[in-house]
Structure 1
């Protein structure tokens, strides 16, 4: 139950403390991301890397706001999706593929995130195991994904629209002969919520082309999730066990004692944020109780999705804030060494190239114009 004092707190970006917490969460996510990237070497077991990532998140989160009544924790568990797998791979110790390991040349998409007081800084990056130069369609996908991400971030401006972002990502991908992953969503975020109603859709399928329009506004936060495939961009759930879930707003009087115990633990440990079954206390109870919770709609699954075998997906995820001083990157991947990705293709659309070259902060001229316009009625 929310107390009266909490109701009076301003959790919008108008309160500087909000952006401070977002940035701190982003810093933690960025630091752990670099640690996880360093672990992605030939022969590394995916399960062990995910466990190490979650442990590092918990350790870094514990260092901040010590002794203060501020909720904090993992906003997204460490996930490693390899090659044609799109997302949500965070293995369970008893899974059949729990011993699966990385190999030189694999393209690994790493997702993770921390939150401070419910303000999440989620990030995703793509790395090639072993490094070195990459050519062909995979190199094309890296260039397209990075440039599409940079264009998308700059289009999330006050009065901008979600469909302008969708269109820009399509154009960048087409220039490199690759495809955005169909129906992938980027959501507005708020305190304790990473999937609000305002959203951007990539490469919408026929049934999703009538998705709701939305206009961006100052003071909003978005997770910009760009996934580009060397194939057709169509992904489907795999046979891999779903291990990442998020609590929904649905309520139901659960019958099984194990199910009720699991929901109590989820509420206490993870709140509204996604979690992995691996981080629940008791494996046997988790596997027993999770089924009823899922069947009754209390938990939303993050299924493991994949393109056709032989294809590769590249991902970049950046959390941004739309402020009066321009776009602020709360968390995001490091700029990739694109020179290592040898492509014969290039983006030639001048409008998009100019957009990508723009600073995230408005120029001083634009600021003066805005100020003059605001003062005009008073004058």
Structure 2
């Protein structure tokens, strides 16, 4: 999600999803992103700390990506986990000394994170009302805004294909939100993605005002392009404003450094470039971030860093978000990340969608057949959070995915090493016992 201007963007063919190796990297990153988002949703309960949940999500991403053998390729967090509550629109991920938020039953939370493998980014966003279940569903405006955002995501995914222009998607999102008497957040952008690039040359704008309509460039989707489709819908005025919350997420711009530069600034930029490249980073991961604040402020003022400020709607408003990563193919789209379903029985709205083309998501039906490449039923990433387990046996004739093969190999090596240690230990123990009791056991 961004509101910055567009720039030229031309990705070479070997770095596009037409390359099977690139597509596999996107898929692995997408499965990890979905798994982490699902785990965070399960952990969202009354009394839990937003800061701790964000830190836990980033640690899970690092742990999962480090378990995959990719040689010297970079991998890990592409966008630090954020959790924005109620009228907070986006990018809330506080530091240890910042004001934290403790979740309460009925809070509407938005989870936003991204994972990358070798610079190929998979973004995911999900909304959830704390404590909402089938037996105790969320209702009123909370249910309205969640279902409006989900319906807008589904409807836009049904529309996107090669040759469709971006303003048609903007119109569909607007219609879906208005059916629930909500508004998309004004001026927010869903960008084309590239290797190490969050903001490509094409984008989809939400709820543009007159000036934004004139300035925003019209474009058409093309085969082998990848997009982060980011839907943000509000029950309020549909406008995000910066508040007093500290900005904790930045990314380094791909710009030449000024020749005359202070040594602390130069050292900081070199360290950031080496560790994160042009991907996003959190201040908590910056060495001595308190001392680095003046340096970061200077970098932002000179355009060397791009900040992601925390946005807020007016008090009393509610904001919901759903985000997915998709690739445009010749036959439709392929879902890379953001495939977590919404349980419609947990959100009871008094509004309905009259437009037949938008009814699929509102009724909780499966996405349209144009969702090419949607994960098959039962296909999951083989790592469970904090407990590694081998994937369940596949039917005869079925092949394991790239992610399953690489992760299974790592788990098997770990298993063999553990079993060898146990065997050696037992062998020593048995020989010692035999010497002590001078009895020849039937185990040689």
Give the TM-score taking structure 2 as reference length: 0.76
1:227 to 207, 232, 257: 232
Which runs of structure 2 are paired with 1:1-379 in the superposition (5 Å)?
Answer: 10-66=14-70, 68-95=71-98, 97=99, 99-131=100-132, 132-210=136-214, 211-253=216-258, 255-353=261-359, 358-361=368-371
Alignment-derived partner of residue 367 in structure 1: none
Q: Which runs of 5+ in 1 are unaligned?
A: 1-6, 363-379
| Equivalent pair of 1:108/1:129 in contact (CA under 8 Å) | yes
The superposition leaves residues 298-345 of structure 1 with CA deviations (integer Å, 9 ceiling, x where unpaired) of 001101001001111000000000123431111005111112211111
Task: Give the drift of 1:12.
Answer: 1.6
The superposition leaves residues 82-136 of structure 1 with CA deviations (integer Å, 9 ceiling, x where unpaired) of 00001001111222x0x32111111110111110011111101011112231111
| Equivalent pair of 1:265/1:280 in contact (CA under 8 Å) | no
Task: Give the drift of 1:141.
Answer: 1.0
SS at match of 2:25: helix
Task: Give the drift of 1:285.
Answer: 3.4
Distance 1:233 1:21, change over 3 A: same
| Equivalent pair of 2:251/2:306 in contact (CA under 8 Å) | yes
Paired residues in the alignment total 354
SS at match of 2:15: coil
Task: Give the drift of 1:35.
Answer: 1.8
RMSD, aligned CA: 2.0
Question: Whole-Å Cα distance in 1 between the matches of residues 13 and 225 of structure 2?
Answer: 17
SS at match of 1:212: coil
Task: Give the drift of 1:255.
Answer: 3.3
Distance 1:9 1:339, change over 3 A: closer
Question: Whole-Å Cα distance in 2 between the matches of residues 231 and 65 of structure 1?
Answer: 46
Distance 1:361 1:49, change over 3 A: closer
Task: Give the drift of 1:9.
Answer: 8.1
Of structures 1 and 2, the larger Rg is shown by 2
After the TM superposition, which of the residue ranges 181-190 and 351-360 deviates more from structure 2? Answer: 351-360
| Equivalent pair of 1:256/1:289 in contact (CA under 8 Å) | no
Question: Whole-Å Cα distance in 2 between the matches of residues 320 and 296 of structure 1?
Answer: 34
After the TM superposition, which of the residue ranges 317-326 and 227-236 deviates more from structure 2? Answer: 317-326
Distance 1:259 1:188, change over 3 A: same
Q: Which runs of 5+ in 2 are unaligned?
A: 1-10, 373-444
Give the TM-score taking structure 1 as reference length: 0.89
Question: Whole-Å Cα distance in 1 between the matches of residues 81 and 264 of structure 2?
Answer: 26
Task: Give the drift of 1:354.
Answer: 6.9
SS at match of 1:329: strand
Question: Whole-Å Cα distance in 1 between the matches of residues 223 and 101 of structure 2?
Answer: 44
| Equivalent pair of 1:147/1:172 in contact (CA under 8 Å) | yes
| Equivalent pair of 1:229/1:311 in contact (CA under 8 Å) | yes
SS at match of 2:149: helix
The superposition leaves residues 55-107 of structure 1 with CA deviations (integer Å, 9 ceiling, x where unpaired) of 111111101125x1212121110101000001001111222x0x321111111
